[in-house]
A and B are shown apart, each in its own frame.
Chain A
Amino acid sequence: MAVALNPHRAVRSAAVSRVPLRILTAVPICDGHDSAVTAINIELARHGIEVIYLGYHQSVSAIARAAIQEDVNVVGLSSYNGGHIIFFKEVVDRLKQGGNGDIPVFGGGGGTITKADERIMQRQGTDRIFFAGTPFKDIMALIQRDYARTAKPNAKFKGDRALARAITLAEQNLATRHSLRAAPAQKRARSFVVGVAGPGGAGKSTLIDELTSRFLLKNPSGRIAILANDPSHPDTGGAILGDRVSAIYAQDDRVFFRSLATRGSLTGLSAAAPAAIEILKRSGEFDLILVESVGVGQESDPFGSFGHGRCLTDAVLFVLAPHYGGLIQLQKIALLNGADLVALNKCDHPMARTAKAEIQARLNQNGRGQLLHSTTAAKHFDSGVDALFAAIAQLGGLSNSSGGEKPCQLEVAP
């Protein structure tokens, strides 16, 4: 879900064309104090920064994984429930172990982190602590001064970080060739790519996460990638990319999750999305790649699925909720013609019954035998999601059998 920015005045005008800084923010495990971090997120985005917010109660491994996959400039932790000396150290160490020690870590925790703590923490690799009473203005100025740097190709990066860096380069508008070269391209490309589109709030992100859980269960060794496109703020250029907060099944090393801000692109995808897909495909790492577009209107076609030119993805999943308005609105949704798979989500809603009939009738007009899937993504273990996953698996030649276990037995951190 893209988080609406605070209506307060933008701090920096959109005309500034610098590449936005990317920050990962999070609150440590067993800690739910998010009031400071959510205020800081708003403030960062107002300053034109892209914030990838991971949420509260986050483990060291979830934080390190997100920092790597998002290829952020810096990680900001907000810790209140104590144990910060150990926790910050573990995050720094985890990053270092994987060859990602170039990503600095800083944070704050009001009065709970003392000056003496900071000295120890700095010795152990934390960059700096923002103490209680530091004005937002000063925090922003220091971040802009010390952490804004343009990403460069780095041959030493391995694994997910190499992929992540390639995507960052693509986002910086460096020639796609460049980024592709930076990506490790060896193995046979075998990815099945599904574009996921639909109106804002229909449940695309939630559904993707539930599909992720099915994938992980049914494919005990495969990997899945998710590209989550969310809008940049039109005035500030900043963004709060909050999809990871709700992606509970993405906290697994078999999932590569990357948030992409649209940075002014109006297609429903980041301009770097085609390159990012290509990078992920070329890596040969992923059996399934799911690409979520921003919430789309009636006429949009983010993946180019209408047959003119090349479709970006192998298949398109269109997700809508029962609140589409009525039959006339339904007629006008162009993607209902182009989509290979259609899901009516939020089937727990009382309006779902009527919606189901109306949409199926609308699909029948197309004469393509499109089947409507009824899902309730907000519910775990929903059989409609099972069926949708089976359909995707069949289209993409993926495994849908090796499980039998319940999704709840997945390792969901923490």
Chain B
Amino acid sequence: MSQLGKIADSVDSYNQFVSAEIARARSDPKFAAELRTRWAGLRASVGLTRSPTGTPLPRLALPETDEPGAIAEYLFGQGFPGQFPYATAAYREMYLDTAIGTGEEPMRLFAGLGLAEDTNARFKYLSRHQKSLRLSTAFDGPTLYGLDSDHAGVLGKVGEGGVAIDTVEDMGRLFAGFDLTRKDASVSMTMNAPAPVILAMFIAAAKRRFGADCVPNLRGTIQADMLKEVQAQNEVIFPVDASLRFLCDMIEWCVPNMPRWYPVSISGYHIAEAGATPVQQAAFTLSNGFTYAGLLKQRGADVNAFGPRLSFFLDCGLDVEYLVLGRVCRRIWAIGMRDVFGADAKAQILKLHTQTSGRSLIAAEFQNNLTRTAVELMVAYMNYTNSCHSNSADEPFTTPTEKYALLASHSQSILLEETGIFKHTMNLFGGAPGLLALERQVEQRILGVFREMDTLGGVIAAMEQRYQRSQIQESGHRIETQIYSGERPIIGLNKYVSDEPMPSVPLARTSPKKQRLQVERLRAFKKKHAKKTPDALQRLENVTRDGGNVFSELVDTVEVCSLGQITACLTGVVGKFRPMV
């Protein structure tokens, strides 16, 4: 039933394998000689560079050793960057050329506010100050819950906390003026229960602008991780089995049709922000990932085809465990995928997006948030995250205003382009003894949670028993009690508090006029398509009922139906999610 026990065991046996290889390297001269030769080759392959003050540096820092045991420890225990078990990094020489402009830019700044054109303007503002096109979209509450902007009682939330998208026309406006087929363009969308509908709208809008054959060129990520929605973020519309089916339909469609697209981002961010400890975050996220892999395999999909299209998203806060969390997760994922799922190299790599912690940002003396985010960014990059979002200092109050969004963007540019920490040499910190000790502790605690969930019957069974939710809620309660008891010092809140009155912070709110405009646009769309809507919905209903691929139908449905109309149709067939405390 559950694979989690097996996965935990596979990590333990891999660790035993590493110990055995270290011992062999020290006792078997032939093996030692082999390792030395390999090591010499690797070291010779490392290019050289110079700091601006003239210090010669390798482009990749490797342990300075020729001792075969230490070489074995490094190569098998951590892995050369881009090699199994990937603790060091998914790829070799990450970030190095970002400053001169030839490297892949890791920055993704999550943005969304008001109506589509407001977010479009924000995208333009941000990308003016960045190297490549990195458009990461935040949607408003009604959109996240699959409701139209004219749904009873939601008007006040339209365009708040994200952008309002009701139709394919809104989607067109959202990305107007951007060439989404450019090689370095990448779009991400934080969208979950309605993800198939929203991605279908994205495809339909792109086809309208760039022609029908643009689809394979579209690059980006949609979150669509429904397990963590049930556990932490609470955007669930359909019952769990239907939610998972819609997701798998979408993944199966995307794998062959959109080779550059990540159709799911398996997320721990929301789990951590809801209160989970770093260990709980990692354990729940990885176990969710393994559950998706199991589900897709069960449906007959090929692990080597879908494996490389799974991506991950973790939080990075101020707790010490974050120093190693990305490394530990990559390692467990790689071992589990290889040894339990039989995945090949490309399907073993955990590709990681990181966001600094929103919850660590505090209203009191909020300018301190700039420092908190800067520290978290440093830690995130020490984990060699593939992409990263940095929060704005006004996070506690509002959707970021331009000023603080730009400061957040620059905090990444300063770290990667201005300082020398990541520019010249990759892996300056990895392998430090303290970090390795921490890694082992964190890894074992994650495996402990796996084993506990295994006895509950696996992720989905545990979820039905409220296991993850109750764990997260208890941890969330603990954080708050620790803050108010002083056990968790927070400068400006419970320590070194100054008497300055709270400054008033500019807010990015959506005016009622704009909210009404969105409703008018939606009504016009509905009117325009009123004749075709019922048939399109009927076809969608039939496909859903007959067990066909819902996603491939949605790509057509969205041409003439709004998000809310589609949600209602799907709910009519599969029913509604029954939430838990």
A-to-B contact residues, CB < 8 Å = 1, 3-4, 6, 8, 28-35, 38-39, 42-43, 53, 55-57, 59-61, 80-87, 90, 110-112, 114-116, 131-133, 135-137, 206, 209, 240, 242, 245-246, 248, 378-381, 406-409, 412, 414
Contacts and interface: CB of A to CB of B under 8 A. Distances in A.
Interface size, B (range): 35 or more
A112 B366 CA distance: 13
Contact of A42 (B158, B396, B477): B477
A140 to B, nearest CB: 11
B111 to A, nearest CB: 16
Contact of B575 (A85, A133, A407): A407
B364 A132 contact: yes
Contact of A39 (B239, B477, B575, B581): B477
B147 A414 contact: yes
Interface in B471-510: 473-474, 476-477, 480-481, 484, 493, 502, 504-505, 507, 509-510
B476 A114 contact: no
Nearest to B509: A82
B239 A380 contact: yes
Contact of B156 (A53, A61, A86, A135): A86
Interface in B497-531: 502, 504-505, 507, 509-510
Nearest to A33: B234
Contact of B572 (A8, A111, A408): A408
Given A31-B141, A408-B571, A131 B580 contact: no
Nearest to A138: B484
Contacts of B480: 39, 136
B84 interface: no
Given A245-B581, A407-B575, 9 more contacts: A8-B477, A30-B144, A34-B274, A35-B274, A38-B581, A57-B234, A83-B155, A83-B158, A86-B155
A407 B484 CA distance: 47
Nearest to B512: A86
Contact of B581 (A55, A59, A85, A137): A55
A133 B363 contact: yes
A35 B275 contact: yes
B153 interface: yes
A33 B160 CA distance: 14
Given A111-B397, A132-B364, A240 B581 contact: yes
List the 5 closest pairs (A to B, CB-CB), nearest first.
A82-B160, A83-B156, A30-B141, A32-B234, A111-B396
A112 B484 contact: no
B576 A4 contact: no
Nearest to A135: B484
Contacts of A240: 581
Given A30-B145, A32-B234, A111-B363, A55 B477 contact: no
Contacts of A246: 578-581
Contact of B154 (A29, A111, A132, A133): A29
A408 to B, nearest CB: 5
A410 B144 CA distance: 22
B170 interface: no
A57 B580 contact: no
A61 B473 CA distance: 27
A392 B561 CA distance: 41
A253 B46 CA distance: 72
A81 B509 CA distance: 11
A407 B493 CA distance: 51
B233 A32 contact: yes
A1 B581 contact: yes
Contacts of B493: 133
19 contacts: A1-B580, A1-B581, A8-B477, A30-B147, A35-B275, A38-B477, A39-B476, A85-B156, A86-B156, A111-B396, A112-B397, A114-B504, A114-B507, A240-B581, A246-B578, A246-B581, A408-B576, A414-B147, A414-B153
B484 A83 contact: no
B470 interface: yes
Contacts of B145: 29-30, 57, 414
B142 A409 contact: no
B306 to A, nearest CB: 27
A322 to B, nearest CB: 13
Contacts of A133: 362-364, 493
Contacts of A414: 145, 147, 151-154
Contacts of A131: 363
B21 interface: no
Nearest to A59: B153
Contacts of A116: 504
B400 interface: no
B40 interface: no
A209 B575 CA distance: 13
Given A6-B474, A81-B161, A111-B397, A408 B573 contact: yes
B190 to A, nearest CB: 13
Contacts of B572: 406, 408-409
A111 to B, nearest CB: 3
Given A114-B397, A133-B364, A245-B581, A81 B151 contact: no
B476 A35 contact: yes
Contacts of A85: 156
A39 B473 CA distance: 7
Contacts of A34: 234, 274
B396 A132 contact: yes
A42 B476 CA distance: 11
Contacts of B504: 114, 116
A405 to B, nearest CB: 11
Contact of A43 (B140, B233, B477): B477
B387 interface: no
A56 B579 contact: yes
A135 B484 CA distance: 6
Interface string B140-179: 1110110100011111111011000000000000000000
Given A32-B235, A82-B509, A110-B396, A8 B362 contact: no
Most buried by A among B151, B153, B470, B505: B153
Interface in B117-161: 140-142, 144-145, 147, 151-158, 160-161
A132 B153 contact: no
Most buried by A among B160, B364, B581: B581
A91 to B, nearest CB: 11
Contact of A137 (B160, B161, B484): B484
Interface string B224-247: 000000000111000100000000
Most buried by B among A80, A133, A414: A133
Most buried by B among A206, A378, A407: A378
Contacts of A61: 153
Contact of B579 (A6, A28, A135, A245): A245
A412 B576 CA distance: 8
B43 interface: no
Contacts of B92: none
Contact of A245 (B274, B484, B571, B580): B580
Nearest to B502: A115
B413 interface: no
Contacts of A3: 470, 581
B474 A209 contact: no
A112 B398 contact: yes
Nearest to A8: B481
Contacts of B144: 30, 32
Contacts of A206: 578
B578 A30 contact: no
Interface string B65-93: 00000000000000000000000000000
A114 B397 CA distance: 8
Given A34-B234, A35-B275, A110-B363, A380 B575 contact: yes
B372 to A, nearest CB: 14
A367 B504 CA distance: 76
A242 B363 CA distance: 31
B540 to A, nearest CB: 15
Nearest to A243: B581
Contacts of B476: 35, 38-39
